[in-house]
Structure 1
């Protein structure tokens, strides 16, 4: 599969670099403006473009044609303020020969100018920070020997751009996407950097009748995301971080018709879904270990495993130990669910989804300013789901409401208040025992009772303050409170007799429970230099407290249960009720420095010290208490031999408390893990496609294992290892053609234990897996807006349980989609598991049959 992909990429790279392709691109949109803004030429349609080559043979024959033009010399760069923003002037006597090609990526406008060279008198490149409110940076760099790149980053969105030709050179007229209060030309003065000139009074630019060509590829809301804050708590390009980070953006979620948000992680190498409590698919394994779950960088602290995706903008998967910033976590990685934020531009959307097994869901997404000065912004996401299931007795009723308010006190300070309400009444699916006999029963069989259930009510409040003291020092502080109430009744499968069909000792448990979770994070971020070396220093403090209490009920069923001839409603024999409570308090302080040693050499170093207190009890006797502390370091380095390539290596550690004692009463030391990782990150097709190839080695030690002298206690001598190679690709190959793909090899096994044999594989950790999803949307003509998509998700065989292992067979799930978008409307059909493959997912104790062939249709409208 990978050979075919590489062959395709090789052919496409030849096509994209051929002069015929460049000539065709140059003809796409042509505009001509003078400084007054008058349009004197129209934009041509794609159907009007004359493309000389019509087949691969012609393209390849033209690719060898030499370019005889000499590069245009840009001898200076100047930034001037204007009434609407700024203008960036590329000073040259041959401005009419410059041919810009622009695109937007998130908040950044990127313009590449071929056949040009930057020849500044005193510097290699140009940079200006905060030239005007709403624009945070302007850079002009030499991409290669014959190309210049102009990058303009906005605060709230990519700036709007108009091009002008003049005797001075090529002029970019830039208007920031900001509120009216932020557009004062006296705020945020320009600070020159190396290669920058002091702002000069605005000069009138001479008009010309020569046309300026500008190609705009459109908003890059595709599959590639260039930045994510989870790995460093700062807005750092992924290519500059010595760690594997994969982001699943909203476009992938929409195109794949994802209704359970954790399904998004199927697109990431090294991950497997571990069907959580009740087959609600809330757990994700990364590199063979359970992942930490974050919400906007905060630990969720949730009691249940259900995560509603009604307001999720993107899913970020950070691989490897993350204790350096987030405290006690397993070493595989973390999954951060990033929520939707208010926008200044009004946006209103609604969609309705109907699917197999009585699936019905409606959602609205509203955002925009609430005040005339645009200082007060809002966003509101509401969804309601009523659904059945391919599993017996499972019906769901889910209401989710998430309003957000942001107030901009000034250019330097804003405050965001976010609230989430979840009310979920869920049917319960306890799954099946990890025994081979259960692989032969129909997938609809539910060994639970028809009246099993789980009800969840959540209130989540988040308050975030951002303040910039000056251009080099900023503060970010956030507080989260989560209140949970739940109630459940759950049937336990029991044990399977030797006849392979009779369950004995079926039991039940449940009862009401509640929890309160608090989290406070404060980060101080400073940018400064020590000589020629640039630093971005992060100092942070985090405090978390989680309280959980359960009023338990339980008992057993009379008689036995035949899995091939089930009879429900057997009499119940109750046990005495119980009560359990636990409290975990974590305090952590961390320090991180991102050091730019050279423009192409970056160092990341940091450490965190955690103090963890844990107590548990039954509300009557004295509670059991534990106290742990741990230091978690990380260091990594990134070298970029050329701009599109990043080579990196890193070392990191993590820890998790064991909260148990030895036979002598001594507390077990925390489990600790160490990872070594090396990798290469590449940006292909003019940064439209990103690729990450990594190799890692994780060793986790101090794992509790049975004490050979007293099997009622444990000693911390166990050890496991996880080693592997991962490849992730995401982005846009050609306009309208998007792809996200992954592949991995993993060897996760027990390396030391007093009970388990060495070499036994870790549960739910396949030795290999891969995924591929690609879509194409017609860009022009009568079929414009028609999209098709297809993908495959391959998971290798894996162990379902570690004590008496059952190997679950490998599977390939095939999905497809078709959609049509016109004006503000979009209609889509998603087909999942087209070939009706029977496959299973598992956690450490149970297996869960997954959905057969399903179809869902969605109608969306923006207004």
Structure 2
């Protein structure tokens, strides 16, 4: 399962980019999201490789500016992957999935205590995937994630976790824009070299120490090391579509990229009481170091006709340009938050965070250094009031902070990009707590956006501003025993509010005005058919613009999925029917030369046995 499948039922979240069929990047409330794993920030590069679901316990989507708790972030929100932890009793599960286009995947999940007293426990998740696609690309991946959890004492726990992913697949940018729409070519037509593989290797090592000093005082201290190596010995991709709108100039790239990051976090949680008022005070420090280096060769190759069916000839260029550089990012953050409970029905959250970031880029050929640094204070205020036991009203004000990149004519570092968000909403438990509903109205402004310098296009200036406002509704619950529903709707109006390059009022790319979903499933709980179930759902996404210039759009779509499954005892079996009505649609669009079509009707069957 890809992350996009799990997030289809979350309002205001859309796939925005696949990085050439190598990863998944999402858009929340009109802006790019940031990815985290167990509250540790994943760099843009080390998240290019698809996140493997084998080790994911759950996915948390936190909307709005989140810099107080999560540091550098876009104002839209974050996606946090929570990994699986060791279990206190022996557990084993083996799963196998097979499906359309020669999709094969095997998973193993093992857990249990390693000592008789249960103080030392482990978990191991392994996955192997070999899958073709409807566009004729074949990818292979190996994933494993061992975890050790040691209860050092009654108040202390130490967790050590490793994740390693090796992924190989062709670089596929998808389709292209012609005029104000998508080129009228078959959606399965591949313009990439199927032999031009990208090899990505990601290793993450995390250590987490948790200690309780007293009943109301705990500490969480952790460190994370990440390394990512990407190599592409010979990679053909889209250079540009020539003015005749049919001749595609290919680009040839070869080289490697390497990133390494180290992050330390330390949180202290104190729960004092002042009179009748309860507090939950969080004080934290975060220190990070991130280095990215690359050594790449680039050159234009031959031209192919996009209206001519393959096979195509991919010829290496006679010459190429060399890019050698390194970016080193150093960051420090300190934050303080107090959740104040005046009563069971009135709570106030006050918080703030101060960050400093330095991220210079060094061109190792010329020795030129492009500075980028900044510091910012990000406040947070939230209020929750419960007029009834099953209804909560809330209001939030947040700010976000993210370093800016680019080069000014004076060499002066740019100010950080700031996000300011306001949110009002209500939450309700309905039908005797069987149905949960969440309604939110929001407005977000993103300032200090870097845009091209009109006097010198080789440089940038910092004048841009973008805004997003809208309403979101999420509903989920069990209407009757065995009958579950999940529904969502989002209206998102995300536009440019100030810019010297693109017209003010243009919509932000990849964000539809309207989007929604509905999924329902029923499982029989007793009788001869106990354990059998079925589900069906519809996912709707409106028209989206493909770039900031609004030069083209991709049409909206409606996709229907269904599933049959059996869950009883130690056996889980399911058949998933994706895009049941075989709709032809664009899943994501990013610039004029990276338009990703969605897969046609596919079937996948999964069998899992637990021991």
Answer yes or no: is 1:280 the counterpart of 2:26. Answer: no
1:478–1:688 Cα change, 3 Å: farther
Which residues of structure 2 form unaligned runs of 5+? Answer: none
Alignment of 1:315-714 (within 5 A): 315-392=59-136, 394-435=137-178, 438-488=182-232, 489-503=234-248, 505-573=249-317, 574-620=319-365, 621-714=367-460
Q: 8 Å contact 2:231–2:255 — kept in the other structure? A: yes
Determine helix, strand or coil for the equivalent of 2:270.
strand
Aligned residue number for residue 303 of structure 1: 46
Q: 8 Å contact 2:22–2:169 — kept in the other structure? A: no
Answer yes or no: is 1:850 the counterpart of 2:598. Answer: yes
Computed over aligned residues only, the root mean square deviation of the Cα atoms, in angstroms, reads: 1.6
Greater shift after overlay, 449-458 or 462-471?
449-458
| The one of 540, 546, 553 aligned to 1:807 | 553
Which residues of structure 1 form unaligned runs of 5+? Answer: 1-258
Determine helix, strand or coil for the equivalent of 1:263.
helix
Within 1, Cα distance between the matches of 2:55 and 2:86?
A: 11
Greater shift after overlay, 337-346 or 818-827?
818-827
What whole-Å deviation, never above 9, does each CA across 1:19-52 have from its counterpart, x for those lacking one?
xxxxxxxxxxxxxxxxxxxxxxxxxxxxxxxxxx
Within 2, Cα distance between the matches of 1:452 and 1:411?
A: 54
Within 2, Cα distance between the matches of 1:538 and 1:382?
A: 36
Determine helix, strand or coil for the equivalent of 2:192.
coil
Q: 8 Å contact 1:266–1:273 — kept in the other structure? A: no
Q: 8 Å contact 1:738–1:776 — kept in the other structure? A: yes
Q: 8 Å contact 2:492–2:514 — kept in the other structure? A: yes
More helix by share: 1
Higher RCO (C-alpha 8 Å, min separation 6): 2
1:315–1:468 Cα change, 3 Å: same
Aligned residue number for residue 90 of structure 1: none
Aligned residue number for residue 294 of structure 1: 36
Deviation at 1:721, TM superposition (A): 0.8
Deviation at 1:550, TM superposition (A): 1.1
Deviation at 1:495, TM superposition (A): 3.0
| The one of 740, 751, 759 aligned to 2:505 | 759
Determine helix, strand or coil for the equivalent of 2:6.
helix
Within 1, Cα distance between the matches of 2:166 and 2:455?
A: 49
Q: 8 Å contact 1:725–1:746 — kept in the other structure? A: yes
Deviation at 1:802, TM superposition (A): 1.6
Within 1, Cα distance between the matches of 2:452 and 2:48?
A: 29
Deviation at 1:526, TM superposition (A): 0.2
Within 1, Cα distance between the matches of 2:385 and 2:145?
A: 42
Aligned residue number for residue 518 of structure 2: 772
Greater shift after overlay, 838-847 or 366-375?
838-847
Aligned residue number for residue 721 of structure 1: 467
1:437–1:624 Cα change, 3 Å: closer
Determine helix, strand or coil for the equivalent of 1:632.
strand
Aligned residue number for residue 739 of structure 1: 485
Within 1, Cα distance between the matches of 2:486 and 2:422?
A: 26
Q: 8 Å contact 1:276–1:843 — kept in the other structure? A: no
Deviation at 1:548, TM superposition (A): 1.1
What whole-Å deviation, never above 9, does each CA across 1:358-392 have from its counterpart, x for those lacking one?
00001011111111101111111111101101013
Q: 8 Å contact 1:827–1:858 — kept in the other structure? A: yes
Q: 8 Å contact 2:247–2:303 — kept in the other structure? A: no
Deviation at 1:354, TM superposition (A): 0.3
Q: 8 Å contact 2:370–2:407 — kept in the other structure? A: no
Within 2, Cα distance between the matches of 1:583 and 1:525?
A: 32
Q: 8 Å contact 2:99–2:603 — kept in the other structure? A: yes
Within 2, Cα distance between the matches of 1:432 and 1:640?
A: 50
Deviation at 1:804, TM superposition (A): 4.9
1:631–1:434 Cα change, 3 Å: farther
Deviation at 1:862, TM superposition (A): 1.0
Determine helix, strand or coil for the equivalent of 1:653.
strand
Flag as ranges the 4+ runs of structure 1 deviating above 6 A: none
Q: 8 Å contact 1:545–1:584 — kept in the other structure? A: yes
1:843–1:443 Cα change, 3 Å: closer
Aligned residue number for residue 46 of structure 1: none
What whole-Å deviation, never above 9, does each CA across 1:790-835 have from its counterpart, x for those lacking one?
0111101010112252111000110000011232112210000001
What whole-Å deviation, never above 9, does each CA across 1:162-220 have from its counterpart, x for those lacking one?
xxxxxxxxxxxxxxxxxxxxxxxxxxxxxxxxxxxxxxxxxxxxxxxxxxxxxxxxxxx
TM (normalized to structure 1)? 0.68
Aligned residue number for residue 580 of structure 2: 834
TM (normalized to structure 2)? 0.96
Within 1, Cα distance between the matches of 2:149 and 2:176?
A: 48
Greater shift after overlay, 347-356 or 618-627?
618-627
Within 1, Cα distance between the matches of 2:452 and 2:323?
A: 27
Determine helix, strand or coil for the equivalent of 1:606.
strand
Within 2, Cα distance between the matches of 1:548 and 1:455?
A: 17
Deviation at 1:622, TM superposition (A): 4.4
Determine helix, strand or coil for the equivalent of 1:859.
strand
Aligned residue number for residue 541 of structure 2: 795
Deviation at 1:437, TM superposition (A): 6.3
Q: 8 Å contact 2:23–2:47 — kept in the other structure? A: no
Deviation at 1:544, TM superposition (A): 1.2
Determine helix, strand or coil for the equivalent of 1:262.
helix
Q: 8 Å contact 1:437–1:500 — kept in the other structure? A: no
What whole-Å deviation, never above 9, does each CA across 1:368-424 have from its counterpart, x for those lacking one?
1111101111111111101101013x1111111111110111221010011111111
Greater shift after overlay, 486-495 or 803-812?
486-495
Structure with bigger gyration radius: 1
